[in-house]
Structure 1
Amino acid sequence: MDAPEQKQVRVSMARPGCGSKGQKIRLLTNHFNVKIANTEGFFFHYSVALYYEDGKPVEMKGVGRKVMDKIKETYSSEMGGKEFAYDGEKTLFTVGSLPRKKLEFTVLLDKVSSERTDGKSSPGGNGSPNESDKKRRKRVSQSKTFKVEISYATRIPIKAISDALRGIESEDFLDAVRVLDIVLRQHAANQGCLLVRQSFFRDDRNSDVLGGGVLGCRGHHSSFRATQSGLSLNMDGTLTTIVQPGPLIDFLLANQNVQDPYQLDWVKAKRTLKNLRIRVEPANIEWKICGLSEEICKRQKFTLRRRSAERGGENFEEIELTVYEYFAQQRNIKLRYSGDFPCVNVGKPKRPTYIPVELCSLLPLQRYTKALTVQQRSSLVEKSRQKPQDKIRTLTDAMRRSNYAAEPLLRTCGITINNEFMQVEGRVLAAPKLKFGDGEDFPRNGRWNVNRKRFSDPVKIKNWVVVNFSARCDIRNLCRDLVKFGRMKDIEFTDSPMCTFEEDPQYRRAPPPVRVDKMASQVKSRLPGPSTIILCVFADRKNSEIYGPWKKKALVELGVVSQCLAPQRVNEQYLTNLLLKINAKLGGLNHRLAVERNIPVLIDKPMIILGMDVSHGSPGQSGVPSIAAVVSSRPTSIYKYRASVRSQSPKVEMIDSLYKPLPGGKDGGIIRELLEEYYSSSDRPVKPSQVIIFRDGVSESQFKQVLNIEFEQILQACKALDESWSPKFTIIIAQKNHHTKFFEQGSPNNVPPGTVVDSKVCHPLYYDFYMCAQAGMIGTSRPTHYHVLLDEIGFSADQLQELIHSLSYVYQRSTTAISIAAPIRYAHLEATQVSQFLKYEDLSETSSGHGSMTSVGNPSVPEIPKLHDR
């Protein structure tokens, strides 16, 4: 019997060399050099298990750190006097070993929130007023006993770090750096910070009001990175959302934007408050919110067990009373307004402890994890912006306040961190010349003006239609000016729209899908024939709720491309931007590169560029399907792209429908669909011999999955199409979610557009570089971090950087160089737009059918509706 075939496991490629093109520039980066004196020691990894006194495992978050702090305080000698780094859950690290491989401790923790043990519901933080009776065995305990087991797991050589920095690969390296990152988390926890992965937030005084009872809290990100110049500490400013601390009722009023507690939606309040921590007056005790009472405070009853007045008070009696009566009679606390509202439950669902809402205050530094409104999100983005010089000051201050020199574990490793920003050399690539319909022009500072230029390849717009969703807008003048400026761009417009549809006023306050259905019915009944494009005018400028349902209706049922707009100030610039989108959507070209031969191998051999991205639901939205989008370039063009989109399981980052075998041997995957379309749309049908793949949105820990799962699917799709066809591949990951920034030495401005860095601060072994193609006009520019996982085509470093830089200038919807290669931006655009389709869907009622947009095999994931044949 033959041995089973060993599946090839691919790894990222090593750096072939650095680029040399471009004007050199001196930069600073927010990396700080780290030196390690003790490389001969070991990190010892221990597993931590926490149990209650009865042997049940502890599942509550946040208890672990308090328990481990108590162990450090009480059992220091048993721990050999060792400092340790604890991740807050099940992992602990020390430098050098603990005295024994297994240690067991019993810890008595003074409780910050009391919990009854008699199985009866209890209101209030102090239980019944008769606690002083020593004979009462089931009294409320103010402390809790925990059992802790610390067991040896493995050891990690510190030398793995210095080996990796010299280019010697080791599986221990990532583990060793993870230990150092956990040391930073422990250090921040000891300073009382809120921890969000590797970001730390010191206090909520450094916050901005975002509205709705939510604050944008400023903190800093801190993590260790391996670079060509050694280990570095990467420090960056960051922002998270927290709840406004203070009276609970004030937060709810702000969160729901109402003036009066009687207007509150308590069902919504229950969802918002779950798991938040409060302080209860007058006992000043902390609790975690479990839920709300079913009844209002004046009607919510519970059973109080108290000593009876008969026989000298030796017996107990049970009386039933309301929470309101208990606080008034037993605790002598007069409630002003809580009687008419639900109580906060700080016990358990089946063993509640009720507190009137007016006695509760939210504790500071608590994350707000619900979905943000459009206004909150835009405010958060605005508050996060800092000019380069302000960013440098913020990070210098964060380094000083963090005081890593005082961290005992870092000292034990012999780690010292330089307080000066690392100096690096960058190169500024020259912008490519652009070609328009009436001449050529060089972009200046990453921007170009098309106001007086003709489009490179304009379209004809014969039958066009306007639908107006109650926008107070002069539609006639808007259309007249659009035609006027369109003709200046060489777009052939008919003088006026074929039809204009106004929304029926009686539906203006109806739900978005209803408004869209009524408008679509109007369009269908009165439209004499198919139109070229529908201009859709909204009243809301920011993310109108009609957008998703309307886009779906237009593309699925009406079969017409639509352009949505919400005009505030209609001027030439506004209309030009609108025309850029319209011309590109209808298959035209606004501009192209003047010299395409500057991009290597584009002309010589047939080539296809793929852009891949996955869009997930917003934070706070669970169960929303993820949308995978792949775009592919057209034959002999790097300007036009076609998209294929699928839905897949929520929060899944790997695209699982690139290759999808169907009954009968057919492949229903994305790649085959795009390759067949590429082949059939070519003047001389030909299969591409070179495939360049740009993949967005994956972390470094997922690179192997891209190579061994996604790339494997792509190869299978190619083989299924033609067994003899084997093109060469280049795979590039683009990351925007990282924390490296660059600053031009001696300049208050952002780095110039076209800045590339591929030395000193990049990976010591693998092939990566940073590129800032865009001109940063607001805040501090964030470069894109490109990782080349595979390059069978064989680009030189200069050629690949030139290609990516040029692809930042061919995005047809913009008059500026964009921050990421255009294929990725198109894929992101498509995934985001299609995710709007499902926003108002009843997710159980999904359409079936196959086509350009469908779901992968998971039956629980709703399919994306099939597009109209047009």
Structure 2
Amino acid sequence: MVSINPESKSRAVNREVLSELIKLHGKTSLGGKLPAYDGRKSLYTAGSLPFESEEFSVTLVDPEKKDKEKAEREYKITIRIAGRTDLYQLQQFLKGRQKDMPQETIQVLDVVLRESPSWNYVTVSRSFFSTTFGHRGDIGEGLECWRGYYQSLRPTQMGLSLNIDISATSFFKPVTVVQFVLEFLNLRDASWPLTDRDRVKIKKALRGVRVETNHQEDQIRRYKITGITPVPMSQLIFPVDERGARMSVVQYFMQRYNYNLQYTSWPCLQFGSDARPVYLPMEACKIVEGQRYSKKLNDKQVTNILRATCQRPQQREQSIREVFTYLLTCGRSFQSAGTHVVRNVLFNAYMSCLPVMCSLSHNTLFHTVDGSAQQVC
């Protein structure tokens, strides 16, 4: 079992922690074995690790923190061997010599197949998304659709099948927050103040979204939006020192950065806690690329996604072939310690909009140095 302290609910954070661990100890304490990690508690390697239980320490830097000491966070990682997964049982099941399907072995292979795309693409449930999979399509109101693919590993009468299909979902456009607000509210003129109703809509849409500053060319900071100020920027005043001196946001940006703010009738973005808030003008922030929009889409946006992702059967088949080629050639864990996925692939392409099934021969699908995959807890 892999235990990370302090705990994080984010798979992305857990993967960053593990990535740092591999950089520091991969060639030494881990014996040169690249693990396959599910982002939670399970980790698998091809062959045995040189220990039964070991604790490691790594430090990550949070780019959203200004103070260097506060930005650095130490994590304790405990790795303990839980057991081995014997691939022989899977071979017997696929040959019809064993009644019960070895679900744990299927899970191991599924984690291995998902390892490389989990590092390189945006993960949403069992799908992976990236702008490299095709042209991103504007679906309106500050959003765009990204193409991706869904994959699942399943046993069939033909052996193990890796089922792959093309998918799409909505993302925030990587534009300035001002541009997003104009598109989201269908506004033409940014000089008009926002109504209370508009402010509430923007607050709901942008809460939790990461942005990066653009008012300093030599220093870009990232923040996570926690709210929207209840008053316009022209009326927003905050303390600037311990003596109680106060200054408006407009004055502060002019004196500190020589930056003349334009949209003073709009509210500011708020970051941090209510006790110690940080205010930034919308025009000084840009939405970070690769953030999924998880709220409900309207009918027009759904229609635009369908139009953007519509493909002829031959095009759909080719897209899936390209995805599968990547899985065979660029897999991070496939290259490690004798683990590999063979390239004997049988494509059953249906000349319709049905998913294309990519099946691998069961007798050559996966093997490790000693015929087993080691599970680490």
Query: Could you say which TM-score interval applies, normalised by the shorter chain?
Result: 0.7 to 0.9
Work out the CA distance in 1 between the residues paired with 2:250 and 2:92.
Answer: 67
Pairwise CA distance, 1:270: 0.8
**Correspondence for 1:225:** 154
What per-residue deviation string (whole Å, max 9, x for no partner) do you get for residues 523-581 of structure 1? Answer: xxxxxxxxxxxxxxxxxxxxxxxxxxxxxxxxxxxxxxxxxxxxxxxxxxxxxxxxxxx
Give the counterpart letter for 2:54 in structure 1. Answer: L
TM-score, normalized by length of structure 2?
Answer: 0.81
Structure 1 residue 360 displacement after superposition = 1.0
CA deviation after TM superposition for structure 1 residue 357, in Å: 0.9
Distance 1:166 1:303, change over 3 A: farther
Which structure: greater strand fraction?
A: 2
Q: Which residue of 1 aligns with 2:40?
A: 89
CA distance in 1, matches of 2:271, 2:89: 47
**2:239 maps to 1:295:** no
The sequence identity of aligned pairs, in percent, is 27
* Partner-residue secondary structure (3-state), 1:355: strand
Alpha-carbon distance between aligned partners in 1 of 2:124 and 2:332, rounded to the nearest angstrom: 22
Instruction: Rate the CA distance shift 1:289–1:407 in 2: closer, same or farther, 3 A.
Output: same
**Compared CA separation, residues 94 and 251, structure 1 to 2 (3 A):** same
Residue number in structure 1 paired with 2:3: 48
2:64–2:71 Cα contact (<8 Å) kept: yes
Q: What letter corresponds to residue 291 of structure 1 in structure 2?
A: G
3-state SS, counterpart of residue 203 of structure 2: helix
Contact 2:55 2:78 in 1 (8 A): yes
Contact 2:203 2:227 in 1 (8 A): yes
1:335 equivalent in structure 2: 261
Q: Which amino acid aligns with 2:271?
A: V
| Counterpart Cα distance in 2 of 1:151 and 1:320 | 55
The structural deviation recorded for 1:72 is 0.9
**Whose relative contact order is higher, 1 or 2, with alpha carbons under 8 Å and at least 6 apart?**
2
Q: State which of 146, 170, 181 in structure 2 corresponds to 1:241.
A: 170
Query: Cα gap change, 1:189/1:59 in structure 2, threshold over 3 Å: closer, same or farther?
Result: closer
Partner residue, 2:319: 394
Contact 1:223/1:233 (8 A) holds in 2? yes
Instruction: Tell whether the 8 Å contact from 2:316 to 2:353 is kept in structure 1 after alignment.
Output: no
Q: Which residue of 2 aligns with 1:405?
A: 329
Cα distance in 2, alignment partners of residues 59 and 222 from structure 1: 23
The alpha-carbon distance between structure 1 residues 292 and 101, as it changes in their structure 2 partners (threshold 3 A), is farther
Aligned position for 2:22: 72
Root mean square deviation of aligned Cα: 2.8
Distance 1:252 1:160, change over 3 A: farther
For residue 60 of structure 1, report the CA deviation from its aligned partner. 4.9
1:189 and 1:408, CA in 2 relative to 1: closer, same or farther beyond 3 A? closer
Residue deviations 1:792-837 (CA, integer Å, cap 9, x gap): xxxxxxxxxxxxxxxxxxxxxxxxxxxxxxxxxxxxxxxxxxxxxx
8 A contact 2:268–2:279 mirrored in 1: yes
Given that residues 50 and 148 in structure 1 are in contact (C-alpha distance below 8 angstroms), is that contact kept between their aligned partners in structure 2? Answer: yes
Runs of 5+ in structure 2 lacking a partner?
A: 363-377
Deviations 1:107-147 (A, max 9, x none): 2223221155xxxxxxxxxxxxxxxxxxxxxx774433333
The corresponding residue for 1:319 is 245
Pairwise CA distance, 1:318: 5.2
C-alpha separation between the residues in 2 aligned to 1:356 and 1:108?
Answer: 32
Question: Contact 1:399/1:419 (CA < 8 Å) preserved in 2?
Answer: no
Structure 2 partner of 1:143 = 72
SS at match of 1:252: helix
Tell me if structure 1 keeps the 8 A contact 2:116–2:330.
no
The CA distance in 1 between the partners of 2:328 and 2:136, in whole Å, is 24
Query: Secondary structure at the residue paired with 1:340?
Result: coil
1:157 is aligned to 2:86: yes
Give the Cα separation in 2 of the matches to 1:284 and 1:86.
Answer: 31
Q: Does structure 1 conserve the Cα–Cα contact (< 8 Å) formed by 2:328 and 2:341?
A: no
d(CA) in 1 for partners of 2:153 and 2:254? 56
TM-superposed deviation, 1:750: 7.2
1:63 matched to 2:13? The reply is yes
Q: Distance in 2 between matches of 1:148 and 1:296?
A: 46
Select between 148-157 and 381-390 the one with higher mean Cα deviation: 148-157
Amino acid at match of 2:19: D
CA contact (8 A) 1:274 1:291 kept: yes
One-letter identity of the residue aligned with 2:125: R
TM-score, normalization by structure 1: 0.37
Letter in structure 1 aligned against 2:221 = I
Question: Is the Cα–Cα contact under 8 Å of residues 234 and 248 in structure 2 kept in the other structure?
Answer: yes
- Is residue 200–residue 221 contact of structure 1 (8 Å, CA) maintained in 2? yes
**How many angstroms does 1:84 deviate by?**
1.0
2:51 counterpart (80, 83, 100): 100
- Shift of the alpha carbon at 1:48? 2.8
Q: Distance in 1 between matches of 2:8 and 2:119?
A: 22
Rounded Cα–Cα distance in structure 2 between residues aligned with 1:170 and 1:413 = 25
Matching residue within 343, 350, 355 for 1:742: 350
SS in 2 for 1:114: coil
C-alpha change, 1:379 and 1:64, in structure 2 (3 Å) is same
State the AA in 2 paired with 1:200: F
Quick one: distance in 2 between partners of 1:150 and 1:290? 35
Counterpart CA distance in 2 for 1:346 and 1:147 is 28
| Partner in structure 2 of residue 37 of structure 1 | none
Q: 2:253 touches 2:260 (CA, 8 Å); kept in 1?
A: yes
SS of 2:235's partner is coil
Q: Which amino acid aligns with 1:325?
A: Q
Shift of 1:103: 2.6
Q: What whole-Å deviation, never above 9, does each CA across 1:244-300 have from its counterpart, x for those lacking one?
A: 111112112212222234346111111111122211122222222222233333333
* Partners of 2:229 and 2:95 in 1: CA distance: 61
Give the CA deviation at 1:368.
1.0
Equivalent position amino acid for 1:421 in 2: F
1:366 matched to 2:316? The reply is no
CA distance in 2, matches of 1:140, 1:294: 32
Are 2:127 and 1:199 aligned?
Answer: yes
CA distance in 2, matches of 1:185, 1:351: 40
Q: Which residue is 1:285 aligned to? A: 221
Cα deviation, residue 180, structure 1: 2.4
CA spacing shift, 1:345–1:408, aligned 2, 3 Å = same
Q: Which amino acid aligns with 1:334?
A: N
Question: What does 1:606-625 correspond to in 2, within 5 Å?
Answer: none
How far apart in 1 are the matches of 2:202 and 2:99? 52
Q: Which residue matches 2:199?
A: 266
Asked whether 1:378 is paired with 2:337, we answer no
- For residues 373 and 220 of structure 1, the distance between their equivalents in structure 2, rounded to whole angstroms, comes to 23
Aligned CA distance change for structure 1 residues 73 and 225 (closer, same or farther; 3 Å)? same
Q: Cα 1:140–1:75, aligned 2, differ >3 Å: closer, same or farther?
A: closer
> Helix, strand or coil: the match of 1:260?
coil
User: How far apart, CA to CA, are the structure 2 residues paired with 1:303 and 1:152?
Assistant: 54
| Cα offset, 1:226, TM superposition | 1.1
Could you tell me which amino acid in structure 2 is paired with residue 49 of structure 1?
A: I
